[in-house]
Structure 1
Amino acid sequence: MIMRPGQQLLLPANPLFIWGSLLVALMLGMLPLGRTPWMPDILALVLVFWSVHQPLRVGIGAAFLFGVAMDVHQASLLGQHALAYTALSFFAITIHRRLLWFTVPSQALQVLPLFAAAHLIALAIRMLTGGAFPGWSLVLAPLLEAALWPVVSIVLLAPQRRAPDPDENRPL
């Protein structure tokens, strides 16, 4: 892939770090904070990040498994989060090449519709099965997830950053 001018060359991603960050996001999603509709879904955010940056390692199958785990944990309709995460991962993988050409704040605007669609899918499944409407504060969740995109990008790409000044031991 041709890199943009000024873009930093990254080290390969460690698979243990990828899966560890996904498990940490799953544990954060399982914290008993109560059910508030405006709460951002950290697991969805990390799934989209790794689906964009490492689509061969984190794909639709991983999104489905994490979605089923969230369904079981929240005692929601089995497949509600699984379908939302699977669609989210699919569309993230679909746009990952185009998305990496943008700056991080622009990427946040590009992934906002993905997060909105995932929440809309989960809401539609909940409403079709007779659930109650959680309120209009649900609109805040995709906005907060898109606002957290730059923070997640900085944190999850930090182990891959090379030293800024090359020397005889680090020529790149």
Structure 2
Amino acid sequence: MNQPHYILLPANPLFITASLFTAFLLNLLPWGHWVGIPDFVALVLIFWSIHQPRKVGIGIAFMMGLLMDVHDATLLGENALSYTLLSYFAIMIHRRVLWFKLATQALHVFPLLLMMQAVQLVIRLMVTGGFPGWLYFSESVATIALWPVVNWILLAPQRRAVNRDDTRPI
């Protein structure tokens, strides 16, 4: 209970755009189809949907999903649908999640990521009929492991003081 509470600065829209673009570039790297590699776009989308639901919402999630569909050469709309649902449910719980510590936040985000992967799996099963195996869901575990790191990195620009003063307690 004695942990400091920061008054965060407003999120810079350019920083939000840069973080989404960086996550997209990380997903473009060749390791993206390996088992257990996190979906960085989903991680950044869920982060911004929880922390800035008015700036990053369902429309941006849909557009990022379409970009990932084109990159992955999957059925057009597979990632778009799953990212849209992910963003919608993250926005639904955003007020509740922000009250918890990072470990508990990760436990709240984990079912959303599993749901996103389940939607993608159902679509793939309907189209191809091939089951990728249970290790397919290890992507959600790896993504949740990165939650505290991403939280620290993406909130860092908002924690800085506008004009530093050693006598100010905040």
Is TM more than 0.5 here? yes
C-alpha contact 1:37 1:134 (8 A) present in aligned 2: no
Alpha-carbon shift at residue 98 of structure 1 (Å) = 0.4
Query: Any conservation in 2 of the 1:9–1:162 contact (CA below 8 Å)?
Result: no
Task: Return 5+ residue gaps in structure 2 as ranges.
Answer: none
Q: TM-score, normalised by structure 1?
A: 0.91
Cα 1:37–1:133 shift into 2, 3 Å: farther
Root-mean-square deviation over aligned CA pairs: 2.1
Distance 1:106 1:11 in 2: 24
Contact 2:57 2:87 (C-alpha < 8 Å) held by counterparts: yes
Question: Structure 1: which 4+ aligned runs deviate by more than 2 Å?
Answer: 166-172
Identity %: 54
Deviation at 1:162, TM superposition (A): 3.0
Q: Give the CA deviation at 1:169.
A: 8.6
Deviation larger for 43-52 or 29-38: 29-38
Contact 1:37 1:135 in 2 (8 A): no
Alpha-carbon contact 1:50-1:58 (below 8 Å) kept? yes
| Alpha-carbon distance, 1:138 to partner | 1.0
Contact kept? 2:20, 2:41, Cα under 8 Å: yes
The one of 71, 75, 81 equivalent to 2:73 is 75
Q: How many residues are aligned here?
A: 168
Structure 1: give runs of 5+ residues left out of the alignment.
none
TM-score (normalised: structure 2): 0.92
Deviates more, 1:134-143 or 1:45-54: 134-143
**Any residues of structure 2 matched to 1:112-131 within 5 Å, and which?**
112-131=110-129
Q: Where in structure 2 are the equivalents of 1:2-21 lying within 5 Å?
A: 6-21=4-19
Deviation of the 1:171 alpha carbon: 7.1
User: Residue 143 of structure 1: CA displacement?
Assistant: 1.0
